[in-house]
């Protein structure tokens, strides 16, 4: 009986020593401050005056564009895609929690280079939509792109 008690005392003492000598886990790092909105230009577009938006359940790029640019400008969503190439690889797929840069629409329409980039993105998306049997969206994008060319 003495041997068993002595063995338990040794095991218990070992646990206490190990627990006291194990360093406490490091505290979790503080959440980093949000990155500034203005970044290097992407694809010829202007990000000066851009804002950020975090995707929530049910969002689409067109709905985000309608909310930020006005309902009649919902088909300017390729501009948002241009500003977020690492996040938005397919205009129909965005994930909840994605943090998107939303460029200033008017600033980009007024700049010849940005305007051309938006036109090209719209035509590219229209081609994609034609291949996916989405003729109505493709036609709207093509029409809008042709009006930007003027």
Domain spans of the chain, in order of start: 51-148
Q: Which two tokens stand for residue 32?
A: 């980093």
> Would you say the pTM of this structure is higher than 0.85?
no
Q: What is the pLDDT of residue 38?
A: 37
Measure the CA–CA gap between 53 and 57, rounded to whole angstroms.
Answer: 13
Mean pLDDT, the chain, whole residue set:
83
With beta carbons less than 8 A apart as the criterion, state whether 113 and 122 touch. Answer: no
Q: What is the pLDDT of residue 84?
A: 97
Q: Which residues contact 32 (CB under 8 A, 6 or more apart)?
A: none
Q: Which residues contact 59 (CB under 8 A, 6 or more apart)?
A: 94, 96
With beta carbons less than 8 A apart as the criterion, state whether 122 and 79 touch. Answer: no
Q: Which two tokens stand for residue 73?
A: 């400008």
With beta carbons less than 8 A apart as the criterion, state whether 141 and 122 touch. Answer: yes
CATH of domain 51-148: 3.10.350.10
Of 15-19, 81-85, 143-147, the poorest mean pLDDT is in: 15-19
Q: Please give the backbone phi and psi of residue 117, each rounded to the nearest 5 degrees, phi first.
A: -65, -40
3-state secondary structure of 2: helix
Measure the CA–CA gap between 34 and 128, rounded to whole angstroms.
Answer: 34
Q: Please give the backbone phi and psi of residue 59, each rounded to the nearest 5 degrees, phi first.
A: -70, 150
Tens of pLDDT, residue by residue over 23-70, are 555 555 544 444 333 343 456 899 999 999 999 999 999 999 999 999
With beta carbons less than 8 A apart as the criterion, state whether 108 and 118 touch. Answer: yes
């Amino acid at each position: 009986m003495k041997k068993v008690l002595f063995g338990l005392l040794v095991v218990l003492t070992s646990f206490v020593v190990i627990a006291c000598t194990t360093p406490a886990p490091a505290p979790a790092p503080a959440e980093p401050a949000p990155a500034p909105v203005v970044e290097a230009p992407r694809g010829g577009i202007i990000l000066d005056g851009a804002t950020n938006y975090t995707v929530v359940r049910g969002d689409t790029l067109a709905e985000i564009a309608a909310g930020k640019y006005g309902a009649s400008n919902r088909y300017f969503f390729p501009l948002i895609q241009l500003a977020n190439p690492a996040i938005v690889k397919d205009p129909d797929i965005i994930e909840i929690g994605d943090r998107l840069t939303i460029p200033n629409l008017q600033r980009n329409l007024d700049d010849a280079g940005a305007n051309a980039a938006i036109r090209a993105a719209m035509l590219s998306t229209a081609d994609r939509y034609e291949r996916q049997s989405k003729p109505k969206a493709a036609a709207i994008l093509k029409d809008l792109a042709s009006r930007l060319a003027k």
